[in-house]
Every structure is written in C-alpha cells, then in structure tokens.
Amino acid sequence: MSVFITGVAGFIGCNLASELLAKGRIVAGFDNLCRGSRVNLTEISSHPNFSFEVVDLSDIDAYRHALHDLHRRQPVTEVWHLAANSDIPAGTADPHIDYRDTFMTTFNTLVLMRELGIPVIAFASSSAIYGDHGDRPLNEDSGPLLPISNYGAMKLAAEAAISAACESHLEAAYLFRFPNVIGVPATHGVIQDFMRKLRETPGNLDVLGDGSQQKGYLHVTDLVDAMLFIRETATDKLSYFNIGASDKGVTVRYIAETVRAHVAPEATLSFGQGNKGWVGDVPKFTYLTEKLSLLGWNPRLGSEQAIRRAVKEIARQEFGS
Ligand SMILES: NC(=O)c1ccc[n+]([C@@H]2O[C@H](COP(=O)([O-])OP(=O)(O)OC[C@H]3O[C@@H](n4cnc5c(N)ncnc54)[C@H](O)[C@@H]3O)[C@@H](O)[C@H]2O)c1
C-alpha cells in the first residue's frame, strides 16, 4: 500500500514526501527533473520506504511502463499529482509547455489510474484558475473561472478532467487550490528571483512591475500540513479547497524590501511600470479560506511571517548564510 507522488523532486513534492515518510507511509515518486533535482531528495533518498525514478509523465508509454511496474511491486493506493510546469511566463512564451507538463501529465495520470484501478487522487491546483477579479474576495465557488495565464488554463482543464474521472472511475479526488507557496528547497518564485538578481548586480534590484502587486503567501510547511489535513478530514467524493493565509497578503514592494534588508542592504530598488510583473500575472487576489477554516485547519504563519521565514531559508540556500 503506497502513496505515489508525481513531481516528487520539486519544491513541494520533496517536502510532501518527507512528511508522508515521517508519518510511516511508503512513498514512491516520479519526476523528469526538468525543474526538480535529485539534490532535493538527498535527505530521503536512502529511506527504506522511499523509491524514486526519472520518468517523463507526458510520454504515456514510458509512464505506463514505469507505473505498471511500480504497482506490481508495491500496489499504489493513491496518487498525489504535483508534476506541472511551475513557470508561468515560460507557459506564456510557449503554451505547449503547460499543455504538456500540466494538462497531459494529468490526463495520462488519470488514464493509468483507470487501467490500474487506483482509486484516489490529490491534485496541486492553483489560485490561477480564477483569473483576475480585482478586489473581489474569492471563495471556492466564485466565478466565472476565466484564467489569464496558460498556466491557469491548463490547471483548470486538469481540474475538469479529474472531476469527470470522479464520475466514472475514481472513488475520491482532492483539488487543492494553492496560493503562492514559499520555503525551501526553492526551485522558482519571487524571493529566489530577487536573490539571484542581487547576486548578479549587488547594487541594484530590478523589480518587475511597480511593486503594488498584492497576494497571499503560504509557507510550504503549512501547505503540506493543510493538504494532509484535508485528505484525512474531508468527506466529499470531490473535495476542493482554497488553501491560504487568512490575511490580505503582502505587496511585491514588501518582499523586495525584506530581501534587500537581508542580503544587500545597500542596494537600490528599481521598480517597473504597471501593476503586472509579467503577462498572465494576477496583480491582486484576495482568497477566502473559510471553507478550510470550518473544516478545522488554519495556517500557523500569516503572509508576512511566511515571507520573513522563507527569505532567511532561501538566503541560506542561495548564499549559504
Ligand atoms: N509553488 C507555488 O507557489 C505553487 C502555487 C500554485 C500551484 N503550485 C503547483 O504545485 C505543484 C508543485 O509546484 P512546485 O512549486 O513544487 O514546482 P516545482 O517546479 O518545484 O515542481 C514540479 C515538479 O514537476 C516536475 N515535472 C514537470 N513536468 C514533468 C513531466 N512532464 N514529467 C515528470 N515530472 C515533471 C518538475 O521537474 C518539478 O520537479 C505544481 O503542480 C504547481 O503548479 C505551486
């Protein structure tokens, strides 16, 4: 009886795997290492209950071969599907990337779950499925769902495919709509971008957009805790939850100032124009998380605390200090 994680070598996947192993579960994971890394698995790679294979999940033949083989050795009882393109601008430049790594990996996962009779999926969805609703607070039933990035569009299409599979062959599905998640090992994201820019040009930090973009941030330890709580507690056949801090979030200016104070106090901040960092960036969203709160879970860290903790952690990762 094992848990299978796709995208296990990525930022959230390796944190989830560690937590499941700590709870005594048997965990297997696949990743094609396009963004994840074996280094992220160093701490768990020799754990007796963990196994890992490099597999491209968009290649159905390779995926079928590897998953059938795994299931024969160690029956998989649930899939945590985290593999996806996590780079929104890359998906705007080339929409095939989200189609292949976000949608097709989901579609192929559902095809193989059906073949193998694996009954439960937990899916890493995103606030990006809602689109740009300005100041309007968004709960799980807000609409219309009109994503403004190809990333969000393929996440929404993946949710739709899982919903349909729930009607035909799955016993249960969990759709987790993440906000911006931060912590280590960082593989992408605003804090790491700022630190890498400051390493290149220590005197100046170019910020995309005017710094007024405002979003909620959640530390990865809270995120993993919330996902496991929902998996244990929610009883609907198809459960879908916003996961996030219950505050109004923080601005990009706040993040830039926090990073600067920590790694390059002398640097000048240079802001761009407009309130979007890139095409497909939702400048502001306010997440309502009452549904999860009513189920009994609340985050330990608010957005500001999560940013401050992640800045310290990512500085250690990037600069060793
Ligand atoms: N980090 C966030 O702020 C955030 C927010 C919303 C949703 N999510 C979602 O959570 C999940 C995990 O995100 P993350 O931050 O850990 O990103 P990540 O990029 O670190 O992890 C994704 C992993 O998927 C792997 N992958 C991509 N395409 C693949 C393919 N075709 N075959 C096999 N592996 C493949 C990558 O190598 C990577 O290790 C993703 O689905 C992401 O869209 C993340």
How many domains does the structure of the chain reveal? 2
226 and 269 in a common domain: no
pLDDT confidence of residue 134? 87
What is the spatial distance between Cα 255 and Cα 191, in angstroms, rounded to a whole number? 7
> Counting atoms of ligand 1 from 1, which one is nearest the CA of 220?
1
pLDDT more than 90, % of the chain = 90
Average pLDDT, the chain: 95
DSSP letters for 91-150: HHH-THHHIIIIIIHHHHHHHHHHHHT--EEEEEEEGGGSB--TT-EE-TT----B-SSH
Q: What was the pLDDT predicted at 194?
A: 95
Share of the chain above pLDDT 70, in %: 99
Please name the residue whose Cα sits nearest to atom 7 of ligand 1.
126
Closest CA to 282 of 184, 182, 153: 153
Q: Which pLDDT does position 93 carry in this prediction?
A: 93
| Mean pLDDT value of segment 14-33 | 98
Q: Which atom of ligand 1 is nearest to the CA of 87?
A: 19
d(CA 82, CA 34): 13
Q: What do you get for the CA distance between the two ends of the chain, in Å?
A: 41
The tens digit of pLDDT for each residue in 203-239 reads 999 999 899 989 899 999 999 999 999 999 999 999 9
Task: Report which ligand 1 atom has the smallest distance to the Cα of 40.
Answer: 39
Atom of ligand 1 nearest to the CA of 57: 32
- Ligand 1 surroundings by CB, under 6 angstroms: 7, 9-13, 31-36, 56-58, 82-84, 86, 101, 105, 124, 126, 178, 180-181, 187
pLDDT of residue 38: 97
pLDDT band, residue 276 (cuts 50/70/90): confident
Do 218 and 180 meet the contact criterion of CB atoms below 8 Å apart? yes
192 and 74 in a common domain: no
Q: Are residues 165 and 261 in the same domain?
A: no
Name the residue of 4, 5, 12 to mutate for ligand 1: max ligand atoms within 8 A of Cβ. 12
One domain, residues 161 and 100: yes
Q: Using one digit for the tens of pLDDT, what is the confidence trace for 177-186?
A: 999 999 999 9
Give a yes or no: residue 292 inside a domain. Answer: no
In a domain? residue 293: no
Q: Name the more confident of 214 and 18.
A: 18
* Number of other CB atoms surrounding residue 294 within 10 Å: 8
pLDDT grade, residue 60 (50/70/90)? Answer: very high
CA distance 132 to 125: 16
Range of 198's domain?
Answer: 187-216+247-286+302-319
Residue 107 and residue 198 in one domain: no
Nearest CA to ligand 1 atom 11: 82
Nearest CA to ligand 1 atom 9: 124
Residue 320 pLDDT class (50, 70, 90 cuts) = confident
Rounded to whole angstroms, how far apart are CA atoms 61 and 116?
Answer: 14
Report how far ligand 1's centroid is from the alpha carbon of 58 (Å).
13
- Ligand 1 centroid to residue 137 C-alpha, Å: 26
Are residues 51 and 152 located together in one domain of the fold? yes
Residues 169 and 235 in one domain: yes
pLDDT surpassing 90 at residue 283: no
Looking at the structure, do residues 81 and 198 belong to the same domain, yes or no?
no
pLDDT at 255 over 90: yes
Is 68 part of a structural domain of the chain? yes
More confidently predicted of 135 and 93: 93
Task: Give the domain CATH number at 62.
Answer: 3.40.50.720
pLDDT for residue 114 is more than 80: yes
How many angstroms is it from 83 CA to the middle of ligand 1? Answer: 5
Closest residue by CA, ligand 1 atom 1: 181
pLDDT of residue 297: 98
